[in-house]
Copies of this chain bind each other. A is one copy, B any other.
Amino acid sequence: MKEVESILHDKNVRPTAMRLLVYQILSENKNAISLTDIENQLKTADRTTLYRTIKTFEEQGIVHPIEDGTGITKYALCAAYCNADKHKDLHLHFHCKVCEETTCLTEYSIPQISIPEGYITEDINFTVSGVCKKCNQG
């Protein structure tokens, strides 16, 4: 059994051909990508299938969604220890307004914060936007 196949298997996701391809694409892109990006890189696949594949991946802790402020949700692979119960990759995300790329800053953790008494935290989104290093050196 190939590596990707066993990863999906471990996360309780049936390793279909389509899913292996989507996983492949996600792992080849160093930036976070949108559903449309995936669609463009996988001309054969139907958008609906991709949509539901990503949804499944998200639910099973394989990818995490990123709201980068563009209104288009991006996705990136999770750390190995994420699972269906909890996403544990709480890092910053950066969106460059010049090149439009959205990146996981996996080395930069979301800082601890307090929220008002009585509120329950389930998800945290910390996204910084501006100009990335590459675009800053023009």
Contacts and interface: CB of A to CB of B under 8 A. Distances in A.
Give chain A's interface residue range (CB within 8 Å of chain B). Answer: 20 to 34
A119 B94 contact: yes
B133 A117 contact: yes
A102 to B, nearest CB: 12
Total copies of the chain: 2
Contact of A94 (B115, B117, B132): B115
Interface in A97-130: 97, 105, 107-108, 111, 113-130
B97 A119 contact: no
Interface of A: 67, 69, 71, 73, 92, 94, 97, 105, 107-108, 111, 113-133, 136-137
